[in-house]
Structure 1
Amino acid sequence: MKLATINNQTRDGQLVVVNRQGTQAVKVPQVAETLQQALDNWEQAAPQLNTIYQHLNEGGVNDAFDLDMNQIMAPLPRGLQFLDGSAYLAHVERVRKARGAEMPPSFKEDPLMYQAVSDGFLAANQDIEVVSEDYGIDFEAEAAVITSDVPMHVSPEEAGQYIQLICILNDVSLRNLIPAELGKGFGFLQSKPRTALSPFFVTPDELGQAWQDHKIHLPMRTWYNGEWFGEPNCGVDMQFNFAELIAHAAKTRPLAAGCIIGSGTIANHDMAKGSTCLAEKRVLEVIEHGEASTPFMRFGDTVKIQITNDEGEDIFGTIEQKVVKYGQ
């Protein structure tokens, strides 16, 4: 099924079930007012929502309405937790190679992960507000899963059963602020502003055969200022699948329902597939030419991110954003 949140002038919005084409929706207050409420009671809520979804696709819901994408909020406008991994080692290897560093062997066994901003997510068409271009503004096309309650110390073999929804996202990064923050030895803070979530969260069955081994086996397509930028396949070169990332996150603590687990920047070893962030394109330029020639984003620049299936259907809805100067 496919779920979204529409603006009802509250912080958490109104949960709606969306048809497969992403054109019609229906409110479901009899099941849950918000997506977080549904996730908190997922075992009971999911079957009811799925029944409504089936009826909506069959045209059997009287109070369905045409979906206005301008009214769409992030499906979880504010979340309990967002843990972002770095599961694509092709990206990690290139970044380290550009600065003359080897990738530690442990990276192949122990995932990288940090705790990102979760108290507010941007809508898929919401502007990226930044104070200064000097911060090194970048987009990062990623996939993510949303969990139900996950017990502490869950095994990778068991963790997959807690994946309830899937989305794509734009993990905005301020690259020029990262080195100083990491140099403190305490992780990201100012360099990681709010992330944009896709318009729709979908259940794994919506991906059909493209969802295997807890990975999305479809290309992540990105356009920058209207031009093709990359389309690496999410299921290729993913060192740690989502079940393994969940197990890593839950090693010493349980995860509450609604936890978002990000994949990190999608990257393939096949460089012909392009990139999903400017930083990677820049490090490839450094590796090949000794210096980067591609600038980071400037005010007015745009990014478009989507995943379509083999039939051309836009599964998660499209992320389309513009960078603007904060306060103007």
Structure 2
Amino acid sequence: MKLASLKHGRDGRLIVVSRDLKFYASAESVAPTMQYALDNWDAVFPGLNQIYEELNRVGGDALDQNKLGAPLPRSYQYLDGAAYVSHIKRNRAARGESLPSDFLEKPMVYQGISHGFMGWNETVHLPSDDLGIDFEAEIAAVTGDVPMGVSAEDATKHIRLFVLLNDISLRAIIPGELKRTFGFLTGKPASSLGPIAVTPDELGQLWDGRLVSGTMRTWVRGEKFGEIETGQDTPFHYGHLIAHVAQTRAFEPGSLVGLGTVSNEDSSRGFGCVGEARALETIEQGSPKTPLLKFGERVRMEHFDRDGNSVFGAIEQTFAVAAEVTKSAA
């Protein structure tokens, strides 16, 4: 099943989207919002699925993705990891740092902003483009209720949906924050979600109960930047991250869990963020060559199945100065 949210107020209006992303139907008679659906998943799933089957059989209203916001604009919890080894290894090596000694024993996870997820094509407004603007291409799981103490093997049973995620990062701020050993904060502004949320069963063979396979393609400033296999090169899966955090807390429905920037050991496949490309350039050439993003520049990411079909729709965004900063300058 594929779901999305029309732009409306803070939480949007839930709709069901056809498999080919061409049509939609209102879900209002079953669940008015995505959060309502997640809170009442077992009760509403049959009704939503009936709408989905009918939509795929006879069609519906034409879908205009420009009218879609984030599928889940406000989340109870956003947890993001660094599970792809090549990504964290390259970034740390460029800073003259090694991997933590226990890196392969337990996942690295931080908690980011869980409110105000931007839609797939919203302009990203920031105070300055001297902050080292970067994108990070990810696939995030959306959970239902998760009990405290759940095992990694059982944790994935609580995943309700998957979404495309742009974890926006400010590279000029992050190193200083990490050196203070209190984690990310101002270096991680609000993130963006792709337009379509997809249930695990809808992914078919792309979902093996642990990882989502397929090809993540990225473009920076109109040029292809990455073509990354998402289901490999990580020792951790979604269940590991969920179970790691659930050691001391239960999850509310609508918690987002990302594995971090997708990355392959084979660097010829490109990159899921500019920072990793710069890190590899620093390692191999002594200094970074690829510039970070400036206002007016565009990034795009899209995940494809084995037949070349878009799974979650795309995220395509430009960057601009925040209105508040413009007013202050005036």
Task: Give the TM interval when normalised to the shorter protein.
Answer: over 0.9
Please give the alpha-carbon distance, in whole angstroms, between the structure 1 residues aligned to 2:206 and 2:224.
Answer: 23
Instruction: Identify the residue that residue 36 of structure 1 maps to in structure 2.
Output: 35
147, 151, 161: which one aligns with 2:157: 161
Amino acid at match of 2:206: A
Instruction: Identify the residue that residue 256 of structure 1 maps to in structure 2.
Output: 252
| CA-based RMSD | 1.1
Please give the alpha-carbon distance, in whole angstroms, between the structure 2 residues aligned to 1:166 and 1:321.
Answer: 20
Amino acid at match of 1:97: A
Unmatched runs of 5 consecutive residues or more in structure 1: none
Please give the alpha-carbon distance, in whole angstroms, between the structure 2 residues aligned to 1:184 and 1:6.
Answer: 41
SS in 2 for 1:105: coil
264, 282, 285: which one aligns with 1:286: 282
SS in 2 for 1:212: coil
Task: Please list the CA deviations of residues 215-239 of structure 1 after superposition, one character each: whole Å capped at 9, or x if unmatched.
Answer: 1111111011111101111111022
149, 152, 160: which one aligns with 2:145: 149
For normalisation by structure 2, the TM-score amounts to 0.96
Task: Please list the CA deviations of residues 130-177 of structure 1 after superposition, one character each: whole Å capped at 9, or x if unmatched.
Answer: 111110000000111000100001001111110110111110001101
95, 99, 110: which one aligns with 2:106: 110
Please give the alpha-carbon distance, in whole angstroms, between the structure 2 residues aligned to 1:168 and 1:119.
Answer: 16
Please give the alpha-carbon distance, in whole angstroms, between the structure 2 residues aligned to 1:69 and 1:218.
Answer: 22
Please give the alpha-carbon distance, in whole angstroms, between the structure 2 residues aligned to 1:219 and 1:21.
Answer: 18
**2:99 corresponds to 1:100:** no
Instruction: Identify the residue that residue 298 of structure 1 maps to in structure 2.
Output: 294
Amino acid at match of 1:115: Q
Amino acid at match of 2:184: F
**2:85 corresponds to 1:86:** no
**2:2 corresponds to 1:2:** yes
Task: Please list the CA deviations of residues 1-45 of structure 1 after superposition, one character each: whole Å capped at 9, or x if unmatched.
Answer: 00000013x111100001111121111122111000000000111
Task: Report how far residue 100 of structure 1 moved.
Answer: 2.0
Instruction: Identify the residue that residue 269 of structure 1 maps to in structure 2.
Output: 265
Task: Please list the CA deviations of residues 266-297 of structure 1 after superposition, one character each: whole Å capped at 9, or x if unmatched.
Answer: 11111111111011000101001111111110
Instruction: Find runs of 4+ consecutive structure 1 residues off by over 6 angstroms.
Output: none
Instruction: Identify the residue that residue 317 of structure 2 maps to in structure 1.
Output: 321
Task: Report how far residue 256 of structure 1 moved.
Answer: 0.5
Unmatched runs of 5 consecutive residues or more in structure 2: none
Instruction: Identify the residue that residue 25 of structure 1 maps to in structure 2.
Output: 24
Aligned residues: 324
289, 302, 306: which one aligns with 1:310: 306
Please give the alpha-carbon distance, in whole angstroms, between the structure 2 residues aligned to 1:303 and 1:267.
Answer: 17
For normalisation by structure 1, the TM-score amounts to 0.96
Amino acid at match of 1:165: L
Please give the alpha-carbon distance, in whole angstroms, between the structure 2 residues aligned to 1:160 and 1:94.
Answer: 29
Task: Report how far residue 105 of structure 1 moved.
Answer: 2.9
Aligned pairs for 1:122-137 (under 5 A) are 122-137=118-133
Instruction: Identify the residue that residue 55 of structure 2 maps to in structure 1.
Output: 56
Amino acid at match of 1:243: G
Instruction: Identify the residue that residue 194 of structure 1 maps to in structure 2.
Output: 190
